[in-house]
Amino acid sequence: MPHLVSRQRGLREWRLYLLIVPSLLLVGTFVLLPAVNGIYHSFSDWDGTRAQQLVGLDNFRRAFQDTILWNSFETVSILVVFNLFKMIPSILLAVLIHRLRSDRWQYAYRALMVVPMIIPGLVTLFVWKSFFDPNLGLLNRVLDLTGLKWALVSLDQRVFHWGVFFPHVPVGWLTQPELILPSLFIWGFPWIGTVGVLIYLAGLQSISQEIYEAAELDGVGSFGKFLYIELPLILTQVRLNLLLLIIATLQGYGLQLLLLGESGGPAGKGMVPGLWMYNRAFIAGEFGYACSIGMILFGFILALTIVNNRYVRVAK
């Protein structure tokens, strides 16, 4: 516990406050001020210069009728579902590594998990983008080599009639509107977050061998062990990751911006709310409207955070 300082001594020790001044100034100017400014300007018609005009709720009324914004929320909810699904491989991998009987191998794999981290996330983004290239990209090569392309084409022509896959035409992953969402799903396969795996492993470490032995005596199967022993122990981390992931997906637009450009790709299929805000502000110069889109997103995320803090209390 911090040392309690009385009001009088506090006055004498005023120099202590100097320690917090730089921090407060930085946070006040570059975090708090923009936030307040954003709230204010979401009610104004603003082109980013000093000239501005308060327009009341006009921006929000416009947002309510903005079909692009509605569609972008639909897209982002699909992406959230995708990303929830993409959490599974990391959990599985952590459990697999943890269940190895050899401590030495466990350690080796843990070290191996660090290796992908040395590639900056930025570079990974670009390398993955190159995978989607129709002519030279890896994805189409794999499809051709494994014959999956042929399977997709025949599925398309005989069963589903998507009109997306054709023989002898390279698949345009990022140019076909119908393929944008599937591309965003395939993105990052096999969806291992190595940091996540390490965190789960740390949580799993508290399980002693005796618990496994007891479970084996009771005839608990492999899946039962996962459900009753392993999952409860990493539930804290899983929940935390879940929340962080949902928030990051809701407000993220860097991936879409890099992959598809500032208008969300062909037919705007990859448009997410954050990207639409970016687009309105920096492409159309409608800073006021962009601020109100930001506020709407902000409201959603704040609500999620509050709900999480209040109701999803993690038992310690």
Partner 1 sequence: MNDHRQLAGQDRDWAKHLIIWCFVVIELLPLYLMLQGSVKDNADFLRSPWLPIVPRSWHWENWAFAFRLVLPYITNTLFVAVFSSAASLAFSIMAAYFFARYQMPFSRMLWSAFLALMLLPSVANIVPLFVLLKHLSLLNSLWALIIVGAASGQIFNVYVLRNFIEDLPRDLFEAAEIDGATHLQQIVNIVIPMSAPIIGTLSILAFLSQWNDFLLPLIVLRDRSSFTLGVGLIYLDGEYVKQWGQIMAAYFIASLPLIVIFLFSMRLFVRGLSAGAVKG
Looking only at residues 237 through 266 of this chain, which bind partner 1 when binding is defined by CB under 8 A? Answer: 237, 240, 247, 250-251, 254, 257-258
**Contact (Cβ atoms closer than 8 angstroms) between residue 253 and residue 275:** yes
Nearest partner of 38 among 297, 253, 283, judged by Cα: 297
Q: How far is the CB of 162 from partner 1 (least distance, A)?
A: 27
Determine, following the binding rule CB under 8 A, whether residue 169 of this chain makes contact with partner 1: no
Determine, following the binding rule CB under 8 A, whether residue 2 of this chain makes contact with partner 1: yes
> Distance (Å, rounded) from C-alpha 129 to C-alpha 188?
10
Q: How far is the CB of 137 from partner 1 (least distance, A)?
A: 9
Residue 269's SS3 state is coil
Q: How far is the CB of 10 from partner 1 (least distance, A)?
A: 4
Residue that the structure tokens 């999620």 belong to: 304
CA distances from 148 to 140, 163, 185, 214 (A): 10, 17, 17, 45
Name the amino acid, one letter, at 83.
Answer: N
The pair of three-digit structure tokens given for residue 243, joined into one six-digit string? 């929340």
Determine, following the binding rule CB under 8 A, whether residue 277 of this chain makes contact with partner 1: yes
Name the amino acid, one letter, at 109.
Answer: Y
> Distance (Å, rounded) from C-alpha 19 to C-alpha 22?
7
Determine, following the binding rule CB under 8 A, whether residue 122 of this chain makes contact with partner 1: yes
Determine, following the binding rule CB under 8 A, whether residue 229 of this chain makes contact with partner 1: no
- Choice from 264, 265, 270, 294 touching partner 1 (CB under 8 A): 294
Q: How far is the CB of 242 from partner 1 (least distance, A)?
A: 15
Binding to partner 1 (CB under 8 A) within 71-100 occurs at: 89, 93, 96-97, 99-100
Q: Which region, judged by CB under 8 A, interacts with partner 1, from 58-66, 113-121, 150-158, 178-186?
A: 113-121
- 44 forms beta bridges with 54
- Choice from 81, 119, 267, 312 touching partner 1 (CB under 8 A): 119
Q: Which region, judged by CB under 8 A, interacts with partner 1, from 69-77, 112-120, 162-170, 225-233?
A: 112-120
Contacts of 304 (CB under 8 A, 6+ apart): 243, 246, 247, 250
Cα–chain center distance at 41: 27
Q: Which region, judged by CB under 8 A, interacts with partner 1, from 55-63, 64-72, 106-114, 159-167?
A: 106-114
Determine, following the binding rule CB under 8 A, whether residue 103 of this chain makes contact with partner 1: yes
